[in-house]
Structure 1
């Protein structure tokens, strides 16, 4: 067993300062296992020799073009001593062993020779592809733009690897070898290849956790009610379809099952380990599980990040050790995981009661709340496919589950209870893709405080909660306010088809309830038809007739059945089920005030659980309509083509980057005039000249052309009322305006003269914030003081499609002022949307722009006029979130 010094984090001590520690990464391979990627070091000579000794003759021959039984001391020194600039080597390690190495040697300023070597036992796991991504990133960082590889003609596997890497590749045969040339520039194909590999790897890592063939419970105590024994009993009670091994160092049996003194003492293979020992013993258990070949860990033990800094160090070490040995970790401090598939029947949780089989995948970060959530699902009669409680979310996260569920044939609807977002930009990317296939419904806690629970390996988000909601909407995510709404929406999505539009029919045996339903539809933005009021004594025949007449003109039906005296409920229910089946339109009910999936409204599914076509019921019509409104908005989003950022002809990205380099005189952030940057993206800022006397103001007006405005030059001061004088068409007016403002504002406030933009116009503001977690976010709002005070601002992630820009403009509450309402003339909204698309592209392409404000942007009848633009430019620029080679956070 390794001692404590063996578990220290992989931080380098006593090495040259140029060692690129930021190249280190934990990565997931195509089979779901993990390895650690890092630059090679001189002290790796021993593991390099061991690695080489395990290679086959063929692997050595393909690498060195001839036999080489062993490496000489000189070769070992050469391979392990690199300068990390012209000679770079990255290795993949599993535990303490090297399993692969990739290197480049610079040939000239922009070209380098590349070579790979992967241990035979680990070939086919995707090690080479992930090392290629990391080596490419390192090469680009060092100015390398092209890789050259000489490959033997018989090495078809390596030639196929280079050809399928996604980069522009060329090959030619000379001197008995195939010389392959790879252009390392990012292409759409290379990006798609990387994302596809990431998806397969992360999905497979979750599949390994949820479909184990065997489970060990470490810490299964003798006392009933203990955490370990509870998990063990739940595994046995669910009739897990495989062996279950309790581990206890002192007893021979737990809950009637033979116990083992250690994981290593177990006779057979073990796929999944549930760890329920005290926190200070968990690391030893992880080491033991790694040596046994366990593929995944569920750590239900507490005492980690949630306890403070010391626990956080223990938590980080847990993840480091697990990943170094190829394991993913659920938890710690979690409820566990479950899979209701009859071929698995896994209940590795602390919840004794699981819902039945269903089509809903459920992820919860909260362990304590997870039990209550599962109970709510079961109480409603809903089923689930799989369940994961991530606890402190130290490793496995909601992003991993999205990768798995998007293609899981057993899952149709995805529910997420989130307390934090570890990689928000990646979440937005994955959610947008997933939502095109399956609905994603989210409850995000901390909406008011934006707080993150203690122990979560996630930052506090810098954006307001309204921005988070807007970004969810852009990704097609259904965000609901509370847990009741989460399940209200889920039961509709899980059992009924999506509505084609917002037109809603209401049929009811209560006039009052019908009126409530119609009012709720209007309030939720739906289009209700006049309700069919059947009267208190309405029976199945009355519902049949009303539903038949209503079907042809609605997209969804809300049926209300609340008889004042007992009636033939079963017959009415059968009529509702028949109608839903025949019409193929969503039908939801308020059936006797019941909640969930009443037996009378069910269509039998797998194992007697509700199947497709079952009708969900809600205690009140307003709750049914609220759920329907969420689903209608999602259906309309899903029916809109995804689009792509439009092609813009007059954009000079290279010129913009040159402007940035010139503006960055040091590593300090600096605020600059953004006129030059915007010009590179086809956006003109109206010229403005600072002035310090009435005579200078008159001269500036002559140069710019009258009419002009005289205004406060300071952006903050200019937002105050009375700081601008408009429509000055003669020298006398300019002098008087200057004197008036100078007296009003004082000598410390600078003034400027600017040519007056066309009037009438609506004043707006366009901003960019490069959020540390989300990346570039574009916001839009009106510039009037009232709109600013109310925070009437909308947000979208950059880059933006034309539809994104249109939605952004229409999302603010004051948007009607742009479309000819309330006495305002209609303005050139198309020109405004074009400006927003261009700003979004600038934001996406220039990570050096930390903040950009276009204020004001006047939108007139014939176009837009940008009157002011300032940018905060970063002195040092790191990689954008969710960019670069694959890596685990």
Structure 2
């Protein structure tokens, strides 16, 4: 038994309607909280819980319910603000080891918000930690909501009907279905929480100043000049009006409901403002104020308290120290930012962590004529993150592509999981700064990445993310993805009126892995009719996947004004991507647009690049993404000869006998590998020596790397990385991803090795790494591969207790900002 308070069971969660709440174990001091909660319950809810009328709880019952040992008797409560709104408890059944009876109670006003399902996830995780393997629940037949919570959870369940009561038995071992259900609920909840921020019916600007060019007045004026469709309420402690709009002393004085509050007061005053917003029932906060985590220890503490207080009262937070948020949807027209320029409507969602850089980003997008659906600058990213926005954009019909400027990644494993799914339908283009250091800007609620940058790039590529080097490349790629179809392959036709430009384009295409045909040079006197014939021929050619049209100012004669109309018309009629270098223009020139009703580019508009190399580079990025989408996703094959139960027992025994992390002996490591059908020893030194390493990375989880086992490969750091578990396709890709891979396939007449044996070994090793997070590092070295197979020469194994379950296996929770940096 353990009476110690399990503070790691505490969690902030997002509910089904997008609001937030706090889950924690019950405490002995919660007696008054429990009484107040019980007094708000309807007779029906009480009857469903206790199977009889019970208008009040006795003092003895309150004492019993609030004092638990967090082992045999466990209770978790949900709080919103200062009120308890739900409770779940289990009691172990003495004569049935591994079994506990579970019961839920949710306040009537909060039923239908997903509290039951999220509580079941958390209490099940707590139960598994306490060696409980199954729950028994007794439910009245009329209590359909509770029955649905159990049945929809995805656990293996059995039920029987006896004496007018349904008895449900749930096996708590996570199943594929239960994990899918949990991920789907997380997706819907996080998406809804972002929708509430981006589609407010009303906005209050707290700190709306009468001083020109101040932060508060800038946001207020941008909301007003942007023609926000709802009411805007300036909040100022003394002014009667700001920018010609009636002002209120506090947000509590606003006579109507407030959905979104933009906070632009000094950092020391934010806490009071958040409390007032909580009292007003505000749904979300955009904190543009600085003076938080970016300033040092005191600011970090202030930032943590901001997030804690907001989440406790049901609010998500964008920021602090951010530029703001924008939504170009005509039904809302929200510009709650500090940016003087806002792009028009378009199909791209943009997430930026940098507030200062956000202004330049929006300016660049507008100058290019590139339209955005929504824009969010997260600043210190204390709460709302890129992962949240990705959840929203995945389902948003107005967003066809996602652009990310990332300075840190709060939950990289979740990021890659989401990206892997989203990129099958919508492209994600990302700039990840900090390549040289993998550090995190001061104030960001995230840890630094421990993997080398090229490993991070490999994991992004595995998930389908288009990682570019800088913002110019990001916009170059974005303007092609936004308005042109994806290419079917890498075959490129080049049409020009300058042979020099055509040759530059061809050279760039070859260098970037494309397959260009010889340029079709129309000469400096080329007219619209010449371009029409050449473009029509290229677009009709089945051996062409994309067309690049170059039109430079002619050295002889005048510019034919009909050339861009021809390029635009033929591109619109074709199912192949067309891009251009048109008179050195950058972005979406008016002459090449298919105009939407508001004048912004629509689908079929042709992007232009000032230099051929820029255009070809963008096309190369897009082509690699298109080919990734075409490739089969692969499957997780059944690996024969695996004994997971024995492997788990071995690991538990080794760690139980040690006080901390251990390095296993060669025999112990060989025993564990044998559980996965891997034999160590017997290598005779023939063939090519390779090396496989797995590590339990604190950010990404189980990562597998592959390379040759020699000094040159180590010197060049020629290793390829993938997330575990590997599919059969990913195992094949991993072997071929290293630069020295030709040595495995008979380079310069050498004998090819049994590559299938290496792939099979990778599948087994990756399955081990995925099954056992206690395997902090496993190295298989001198794996000698020849035409007859692959034999493991040496092995080293390090084991350590993981800090909590992997996020995708644990219950849903919002990340907790780190307390130190």
TM tier, shorter chain? over 0.9
User: How many Å separate the matches in 1 of 2:752 and 2:252?
Assistant: 75
Aligned residue for 1:694? none
1:688-703 map, 5 Å:
none
Aligned residue for 2:818? none
The alignment status of 1:294 with 2:315, answered yes or no, reads no
Q: Secondary structure at the match of 1:264?
A: helix
Aligned residue for 1:557? 547
Structure 1 residue 882 displacement after superposition: 3.6
Aligned residue for 2:639? 648
Residue ranges of structure 1 left out of the alignment (5+ in a row): 1-15, 687-754
Aligned residue for 2:565? 574
Aligned residue for 1:632? 623
Aligned residue for 1:583? 574
User: How many Å separate the matches in 1 of 2:734 and 2:370?
Assistant: 36
Structure 1 residue 644 displacement after superposition: 2.7
Structure 1 residue 153 displacement after superposition: 1.2
Which of 557-566 and 406-415 deviates more? 557-566
Aligned residue for 1:666? 658
1:854 to 776, 780, 783: 780
1:663-742 map, 5 Å:
663-664=654-655, 665-672=657-664, 673=666, 674-686=669-681
Q: Secondary structure at the match of 2:124?
A: helix
User: How many Å separate the matches in 2 of 1:663 and 1:544?
Assistant: 73
1:869-888 map, 5 Å:
869-875=795-801, 878-888=804-814
User: How many Å separate the matches in 2 of 1:311 and 1:758?
Assistant: 58
2:743 to 796, 817, 840: 817
User: How many Å separate the matches in 2 of 1:383 and 1:848?
Assistant: 47
User: How many Å separate the matches in 1 of 2:449 and 2:537?
Assistant: 51
Structure 1 residue 883 displacement after superposition: 2.9
Aligned residue for 1:99? 85
Which of 63-72 and 572-581 deviates more? 572-581
1:146-545 map, 5 Å:
146-545=134-533
Structure 1 residue 670 displacement after superposition: 1.4
Q: Secondary structure at the match of 2:410?
A: coil
RMSD over aligned Cα, in angstroms? Answer: 1.1
Aligned residue for 1:35? 21
User: How many Å separate the matches in 2 of 1:876 and 1:609?
Assistant: 51
Structure 1 residue 567 displacement after superposition: 3.5
The alignment status of 1:601 with 2:527, answered yes or no, reads no
Q: Secondary structure at the match of 2:748?
A: coil
The alignment status of 1:769 with 2:695, answered yes or no, reads yes
Aligned residue for 2:50? 64
Which of 261-270 and 639-648 deviates more? 639-648
Contact 1:166–1:190, Cα closer than 8 Å, also in 2: yes
User: How many Å separate the matches in 2 of 1:567 and 1:235?
Assistant: 46
- Name the TM-score, length of structure 1 as normaliser: 0.90
Structure 1 residue 17 displacement after superposition: 6.1
User: How many Å separate the matches in 1 of 2:312 and 2:462?
Assistant: 37
Which of 659-668 and 262-271 deviates more? 659-668
1:799-832 alpha-carbon deviations (Å, 9 max, x no partner): 1101111111111111111111133211111110
Contact 2:323–2:356, Cα closer than 8 Å, also in 1: yes
Aligned residue for 1:796? 722
Query: What is the number of residues matched between the two proteins?
Result: 805
Contact 1:847–1:877, Cα closer than 8 Å, also in 2: no
1:150-193 alpha-carbon deviations (Å, 9 max, x no partner): 11111122112211111111111111101111111111110110
Structure 1 residue 246 displacement after superposition: 0.3
Contact 1:537–1:563, Cα closer than 8 Å, also in 2: no
Q: Secondary structure at the match of 2:351?
A: strand
User: How many Å separate the matches in 1 of 2:139 and 2:29?
Assistant: 29
Q: Secondary structure at the match of 2:128?
A: helix
User: How many Å separate the matches in 2 of 1:42 and 1:558?
Assistant: 72
Contact 1:668–1:876, Cα closer than 8 Å, also in 2: no
User: How many Å separate the matches in 1 of 2:54 and 2:381?
Assistant: 46
User: How many Å separate the matches in 2 of 1:182 and 1:875?
Assistant: 28
Q: Secondary structure at the match of 1:608?
A: coil
Contact 1:35–1:92, Cα closer than 8 Å, also in 2: yes
Q: Secondary structure at the match of 1:228?
A: helix
Which of 429-438 and 327-336 deviates more? 429-438
Residue ranges of structure 2 left out of the alignment (5+ in a row): 816-821
Q: Secondary structure at the match of 2:138?
A: strand
Contact 2:102–2:137, Cα closer than 8 Å, also in 1: yes
User: How many Å separate the matches in 1 of 2:381 and 2:565?
Assistant: 45
Which of 669-678 and 346-355 deviates more? 669-678
Q: Secondary structure at the match of 1:453?
A: coil
Check 1:877–1:243 CA distance in 2 against 1; reply closer, same or farther (3 A cut): closer
Structure 1 residue 784 displacement after superposition: 1.9
User: How many Å separate the matches in 2 of 1:149 and 1:595?
Assistant: 64
Contact 2:725–2:767, Cα closer than 8 Å, also in 1: yes
Contact 2:546–2:577, Cα closer than 8 Å, also in 1: yes
Structure 1 residue 605 displacement after superposition: 1.4
Structure 1 residue 441 displacement after superposition: 0.3
Q: Secondary structure at the match of 1:289?
A: helix
Contact 1:670–1:875, Cα closer than 8 Å, also in 2: no
The alignment status of 1:831 with 2:819, answered yes or no, reads no
1:505-543 alpha-carbon deviations (Å, 9 max, x no partner): 111111111111111111111111121111111111111
Structure 1 residue 352 displacement after superposition: 2.0
Check 1:818–1:457 CA distance in 2 against 1; reply closer, same or farther (3 A cut): same
Contact 2:721–2:734, Cα closer than 8 Å, also in 1: yes
User: How many Å separate the matches in 1 of 2:168 and 2:208?
Assistant: 56
The alignment status of 1:547 with 2:535, answered yes or no, reads yes
Structure 1 residue 875 displacement after superposition: 4.7
Contact 1:667–1:876, Cα closer than 8 Å, also in 2: no
User: How many Å separate the matches in 1 of 2:698 and 2:415?
Assistant: 14
User: How many Å separate the matches in 1 of 2:360 and 2:535?
Assistant: 37
Contact 1:153–1:177, Cα closer than 8 Å, also in 2: yes
Structure 1 residue 444 displacement after superposition: 0.3
User: How many Å separate the matches in 1 of 2:300 and 2:779?
Assistant: 39
1:16-31 map, 5 Å:
18-31=4-17
Contact 1:247–1:262, Cα closer than 8 Å, also in 2: yes
1:445-503 alpha-carbon deviations (Å, 9 max, x no partner): 00111111000011011100011000000000000000000000000000000001111
1:312-349 alpha-carbon deviations (Å, 9 max, x no partner): 00000000000000000000000000000010000000
- Name the TM-score, length of structure 2 as normaliser: 0.97
User: How many Å separate the matches in 2 of 1:569 and 1:487?
Assistant: 28
User: How many Å separate the matches in 2 of 1:55 and 1:301?
Assistant: 40
Contact 1:848–1:877, Cα closer than 8 Å, also in 2: no
Aligned residue for 1:708? none
Runs (4+) off by over 6 Å? none
User: How many Å separate the matches in 1 of 2:683 and 2:568?
Assistant: 66
1:534-589 alpha-carbon deviations (Å, 9 max, x no partner): 11111111111112222212000111000334644431111111221222100000
Contact 1:774–1:881, Cα closer than 8 Å, also in 2: no
Q: Secondary structure at the match of 2:660?
A: coil
